[in-house]
Each structure stands twice: as C-alpha cells, then as structure tokens.
C-alpha cells in the first residue's frame, strides 16, 4: 500500500470509506479508470479535513453515477450534461462529485469552453491552480500512484497558490474570486506570476465577464467557508464585492 493511499484511508470516516468503496466497485465493473482528484486529495495532503470526495473517470461519468445510485441508493443531487459530471449524496451526508476527465478550450475570456473527453493527465493540465491539479489512481494496477504534472505537491509544501497556466485567470475570470477564497481559507501566499496575471485581469475589467450562475455558485462556496468574513472583507478591499450586488 502506498503512503498516500494509507493517508487517505486514515483520513476518511466510516461513511466516506463506504462511499469510496462503492465508487471503486462501480468503476471497476464498468471498466473505467478512476482517480481521486481536486479538493479531497489537496486537503488530505495538506492535513486539512476532507469535506467531499471528488472523483474523475476516463469515460462517461453520468452513466457511472446512475449505476452507483441504482446499486447503492445514493441520491443524484445534480448533473451537468455538458461537462459530463454529477453530484451524489450518500448516507450520513457524504457528498461526492464524479466528473469525466476533460479538456476545456476557451475561444474568449469568460466564454463557454469547448469540452472534449481527455486523459487524467490532460485534465489536470487544464485545471485552475496547481494545488487542485493532483490526482491519485484508484485502479488495481496503479492504486495509490500520485499524478502531479504541475508540481502541486511543491506548492502545497510552500503554501503557495499558483495558476496552472498563464491563461488560467483570463480564460475563466471567476477564478480570481476563487484565488481570494483559497488564499484566505488556507492562509497561502500567491506567487508573483499569478499575482501579475490577477492584476492584468483586473486592469482589463474581465471580472465583468463572470456570469450570474458562476457568481451564485461562488457566493454559495464563500458562505460555507469558515473564513467567510475574511473573504468578504478582502473582496470588498479589492473592489469585487459589488459583483454580487
């Protein structure tokens, strides 16, 4: 057993472990490659409590979500046909997100991306921040193997926020709000190039391209943060709070 797999199992409560096992079984039966990614893995490595479980499959995530719900009785809370993702609720309020490994290409800032199926490696290269772009294989032949194409582990150790690419904030400006939220939640610093990218986005008023649904979702995330008051103050100091008005 890899050290990371042992760490994961020691961080999960009984209900989360049961949900993990159910997803693994369903993915194996469907012949799909399954990975733990995003926030759950980030929080585990950084030593924070794991809130929800985020899974990526190389294949049809919505079809897998339906199979899991049918077999376990988990409730499908939401689906996104365009991104091929689903959110499920297991007993004892265990939430999981199941997403297709995908590549997103933006023709313009704030526009809807063109989405296509991808490998887990390609998926991670398309994420927002390096600390969110780490995955762990849950497949039999490579179980526990960590995939980190952007050196997110190094940034977690340095307690630093860094975008995956020089276009990250331009492509989807809602990420500037996420940047502030993560900086306050984790008390991480922002690396110089990312800060420069943020300032260029603000100089171009690209935050005005953030759509109402993206703002609504971000407001929901802020409300759930233990540091929500600090986040709101920073948004106000940055002149971004008016976006929600």
Q: Mean pLDDT, to the nearest integer, of 7-11? A: 90
Report domain 159-245's class: mainly alpha
Report domain 1-152's class: alpha beta
pLDDT for position 1: 59
Q: For 160-216, write each residue's pLDDT tens digit.
A: 999 999 999 999 999 999 999 999 999 999 999 999 999 999 999 999 999 999 999
Query: Per-residue pLDDT for 226 more than 80?
Result: yes
Q: For 144-159, write each residue's pLDDT tens digit.
A: 999 999 999 999 999 9
pLDDT band at 86 (very low <50, low <70, confident <90, very high): very high
The ranges assigned to domains in the chain are: 1-152, 159-245
pLDDT for position 51: 87
Query: Per-residue pLDDT for 59 more than 70?
Result: yes
Query: What is the 3 state secondary structure string of the chain?
Result: CCHHHHHHHHHCCHHHHHHHHHHHHHHHHHCCCEEEEHHHHHHHHHCCCCCCEEEEECCCHHHHHHHHHHHHCCEEEEEECCCCEEEEEEHHHEEEEEEECEEEECCCCCCCCEEEECCHHHHHCCCCEHHHCCEEECCHHHCCCEECCCCHHHHHHHCEECECCCCHHHHCCHHHHHHHHHHHHHCCEECHHHHHHHHHHHHCCHHHHCCHHHHHHHHHHHHHCCCHHHHHHHHHHCCCHHHHC
Q: Mean pLDDT, to the nearest integer, of 44-68? A: 95
Residue 229 near residue 196 (C-beta atoms within 8 A):
no
Q: Mean pLDDT, to the nearest integer, of 43-58? A: 93
State the chain's mean pLDDT as an integer: 96
Query: Per-residue pLDDT for 220 more than 90?
Result: yes
């Amino acid at each position: 057993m890899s050290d990371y797999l042992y760490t994961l199992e020691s961080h999960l409560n009984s209900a989360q472990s049961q949900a993990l096992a159910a997803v693994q079984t369903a993915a194996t039966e469907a012949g799909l490659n399954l990975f733990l990614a995003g926030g759950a893995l980030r929080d585990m490595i950084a030593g924070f409590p794991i809130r929800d479980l985020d899974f990526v499959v190389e294949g049809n995530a919505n079809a897998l979500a339906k199979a899991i719900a049918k077999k376990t009785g988990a409730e499908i809370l939401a689906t996104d046909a365009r991104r091929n993702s689903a959110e499920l609720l297991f007993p004892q309020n265990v939430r999981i997100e199941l997403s297709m490994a995908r590549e997103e290409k933006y023709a313009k800032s704030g526009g809807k991306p063109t989405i296509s199926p991808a490998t887990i490696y390609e998926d991670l290269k398309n994420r927002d921040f390096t600390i969110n772009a780490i995955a762990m294989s849950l497949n039999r032949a490579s179980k526990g193997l960590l995939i980190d194409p952007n050196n997110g582990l190094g940034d977690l150790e340095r307690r630093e926020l860094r975008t995956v690419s020089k276009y990250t904030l331009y492509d989807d400006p809602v990420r500037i709000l996420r940047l502030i939220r993560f900086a306050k939640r984790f008390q991480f610093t922002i690396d110089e190039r990312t800060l420069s990218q943020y300032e260029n986005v603000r100089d171009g008023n690209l935050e005005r391209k953030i759509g109402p649904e993206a703002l609504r979702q971000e407001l929901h995330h802020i409300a759930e943060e233990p540091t929500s008051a600090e986040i709101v103050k920073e948004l106000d100091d940055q002149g971004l709070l008016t976006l929600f008005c």
